[in-house]
Amino acid sequence: TQLLEQSPQFLSIQEGENLTVYCNSSSVFSSLQWYRQEPGEGPVLLVTVVTGGEVKKLKRLTFQFGDARKDSSLHITAAQPGDTGLYLCAGGGYIPTFGRGTSLIVHP
């Protein structure tokens, strides 16, 4: 099974701050997905990155796939309380591998 390491595990910041979450592996993935999960709900897909070096933007969220397709990052600009949640990266096919997640809390 391919492993995905996410860091940091926990992040507690003030509204307006910037942050970056990392997702790293020693394996090459054909694609990586980023999900956000809110308490009491299932994960919801934010983005899929496919091409090495690819950058995708979703409002204040910027996702990057490493050139070697082994790592990815999620950068949030000017975080807001509504960004609070568990951020998960996932890769793979029939049996996708999920990272353990980064729990983000944004304080007003």
Partner 1 sequence: EAQVTQNPRYLITVTGKKLTVTCSQNMNHEYMSWYRQDPGLGLRQIYYSMNVEVTDKGDVPEGYKVSRKEKRNFPLILESPSPNQTSLYFCASRRDRKNIQYFGAGTRLSVL
Applying CB under 8 A, the residues found at the interface with partner 1 are: 1, 31, 33, 40-45, 48, 88, 90, 93-96, 98-101
Answer whether 33's CB lies under 8 Å from 48's CB: yes
Rounded Cα–Cα distance for residues 12 and 33 (Å): 23
Tell me how many degrees the CA angle 6-7-11 measures, rounded to the nearest 5.
125
Closest contact distance (angstroms) between CB of 104 and partner 1 is 15
Comparing CB distances to partner 1, the nearer of 15 and 38 is 38
Amino acid at 28: V
Closest contact distance (angstroms) between CB of 93 and partner 1 is 5
- For 79, phi then psi, to 5°, come to -55, 145
Comparing CB distances to partner 1, the nearer of 56 and 100 is 100
Comparing CB distances to partner 1, the nearer of 42 and 82 is 42
Closest contact distance (angstroms) between CB of 10 and partner 1 is 12
